[in-house]
Structure 1
Amino acid sequence: MKQLALGMLLATMLGGCATSPTVTTDHDPAAQFGSYQTYAWLKKPEANSPLIQQRIVSAVDAKLQARGWRQAAESSADVVLVANVATTQKQSIDTFYNGPAWGGWGWGGMGMGSASTTVRTYDVGTLIVDMFDTKTKQAVWRGTASATVPSSVEKANTLVQAGVDKMFATFPPGSAPAK
Structure 2
Amino acid sequence: MTRNLLVALSLIVLSACSNTPDWDYDKSVEFANYKTFSWSPDTANFDKGAQNYQISELMEKRVRNAIITEMAQHGLSLVENAQADVMVNFHAAVDTKLDVDTFNTSYSARWNYWGVGWNTQTQAREYEVGTLVIDVIDRASNQLVWRGAKEGRLRKKESPEKRTETVNNTVRDILSNFPPKVEH
TM range (shorter): 0.7 to 0.9
**From 69, 79, 90, the counterpart of 1:72:** 79
In structure 2, the partner of 1:33 is 31
Q: Say whether residues 1:171 and 2:169 are aligned partners.
A: no
On the 8 A contact 2:107/2:119 being kept in 1, the answer is: no
Q: Alignment partner of 1:117: what SS? A: strand
Between the aligned partners of 2:139 and 2:163, the Cα distance in structure 1 is: 32
On the 8 A contact 2:130/2:154 being kept in 1, the answer is: yes
Amino acid at match of 1:33: F
Q: Say whether residues 1:151 and 2:149 are aligned partners.
A: no
Deviations 1:118-137 (A, max 9, x none): 11001110000111111111
Between the aligned partners of 2:77 and 2:64, the Cα distance in structure 1 is: 14
On the 8 A contact 1:99/1:111 being kept in 2, the answer is: no
In structure 1, the partner of 2:67 is 60
Q: Alignment partner of 1:29: what SS? A: coil
Deviations 1:133-154 (A, max 9, x none): 1111111110101011112425
> 5+ residue gaps in structure 1?
104-108
Q: Identity of counterpart residues, as a percentage? A: 27
In structure 2, the partner of 1:126 is 131
Q: Alignment partner of 1:22: what SS? A: coil
Structural RMSD (CA): 2.9
When the two structures are aligned, how many residues end up with a matched partner? 160
Alignment of 1:85-124 (within 5 A): 85-102=92-109, 110-111=115-116, 114-124=119-129
Residue 114 of structure 1, CA deviation: 3.5
On the 8 A contact 1:90/1:122 being kept in 2, the answer is: yes
> 5+ residue gaps in structure 2?
48-53
Q: Normalising by structure 1, report the TM-score.
A: 0.75
Relative to structure 1, the CA distance from residue 156 to residue 118 in structure 2 (aligned partners, 3 Å threshold; closer, same or farther) is: farther
Q: Alignment partner of 2:129: what SS? A: strand
Amino acid at match of 1:135: A
